Amino acid sequence: MRATNMDSAGTLSPFNSPVVTLERLFDSPDIEIFAKLDLLQLSGSTKERTAGSLIESFMESGQLQPGGMVIESTSGNLGIALSRQCVVRGIKFVAVVDENANKSALDIMRAYGAAVELVVNQPDGNKLAARRQRVQQLLAQNPGAVTTNQYGSPDNPKAHYSSTMPEIVDALDGKVDMLFVATSTTGTILGCQKYIREHGLNTKLVAVDALGSVLFGGESGNRRLPGLGAGIVPELALQAEPDHVFRIREIDMVRGCRMLAQREGILAGASTGAIVSAMSQMLPEIPAGSRVAFLVHDSGVPYLHSVYDDDWVRETLGEEPEADGTANLVDQQVR
């Protein structure tokens, strides 16, 4: 499959995702707000770009060829994106997951033909170590198979240096004063940072992280919503130097998501809700005339039974969801 609007980055970015102007989200007539709709990527998230770049570089180096195998410990958006990217390159994909994995994500991977390898009953309870060990075993049993390293590979930020940021700059005629990006491996923000620096742009970068994530000096805590945040500082994060960092509570991710859905008709996932929350907090400080962009990292459909479910919010977060709680977004953030 090859899209007719494919850019010169070729298979890295089958969709140059649309950038839309938002006029209903905030009451801020002097500030222009733009959303880049990566929820429209074929695998449903920004990780489509990351997965494409990781696999492409293995193929370019000859380490991976059609008929080859990728083995990765992942049960989230990267796993779904790798499943799809492997399909279009004729490569087998094995996802190593544990029993905490989201069932619908595993169903999607299987639908793309991926093999899902469940690691169960770790005697010491260390799921991450058990998954990593299983990946090593599978690599040993399958000569020629490779594993991508999204937490440390330069091919992760490269995806965003070569597609995400140039697409935003192109869509906004080079005038982007501020860009909000959610962070997990920090690949997305790092690629944008490199592009901004190398091209001498004045764009300020805002990292939006989860409260409870250890990125940017954060303190480890309980996190239930996937997409953003990290439990261990990934190698890539050491190079990330955002101009601002926000740490957002899960209830405010929920409120941000609901605001975006009910004011702009964009049904997005938790990390985008966090961005909406961070933007609402920062808005009073943003100079009039500014052009502010953000990424809609993934769709809200996989979050219907969490973010968009009032009972889940009450039972799990112990708070009232408040479908459109703009007022609460501003004063309850930890910055």
Ligand X SMILES: Cc1ncc(COP(=O)(O)O)c(C=O)c1O
Interface residues with ligand X (CB under 6 A)? Answer: 45-47, 50, 77, 182-188, 227-228, 269, 271, 297-298
Secondary structure class of 94 (helix, strand, coil): strand
Q: Which of 119, 74, 120, 121 is nearest to 93 (CA)?
A: 74
- Minimum distance from residue 230 beta carbon to ligand X (Å): 8
Is the CB of 57 or the CB of 188 nearer to ligand X?
188
- Minimum distance from residue 150 beta carbon to ligand X (Å): 7
Is the CB of 145 or the CB of 266 nearer to ligand X?
266
Is the CB of 102 or the CB of 122 nearer to ligand X?
102
Dump the DSSP string for 199-267.
Answer: TT--PEEEEEEETT--GGGPPP----S-SS--SS--GGGGG---SEEEEE-HHHHHHHHHHHHHHH---
Secondary structure class of 35 (helix, strand, coil): strand
What percent of the chain is helix, strand and coil (3-state, nearest 5)? 40, 15, 40
- Minimum distance from residue 145 beta carbon to ligand X (Å): 23
Whether residue 155 contacts residue 53, with contact meaning beta carbons closer than 8 Å, is answered with yes
Is the CB of 100 or the CB of 121 nearer to ligand X?
100
- Minimum distance from residue 287 beta carbon to ligand X (Å): 27
Secondary structure class of 128 (helix, strand, coil): helix
Alpha helices (runs of H) in 10-125, residue ranges in sequence order: 47-60, 77-89, 103-111
In 83-200, the DSSP E strands lie at: 92-98, 115-119, 178-182
Is the CB of 50 or the CB of 148 nearer to ligand X?
50
Structure tokens at 98: 């544990």
Is the CB of 46 or the CB of 53 nearer to ligand X?
46
- Minimum distance from residue 227 beta carbon to ligand X (Å): 3
- Minimum distance from residue 228 beta carbon to ligand X (Å): 5
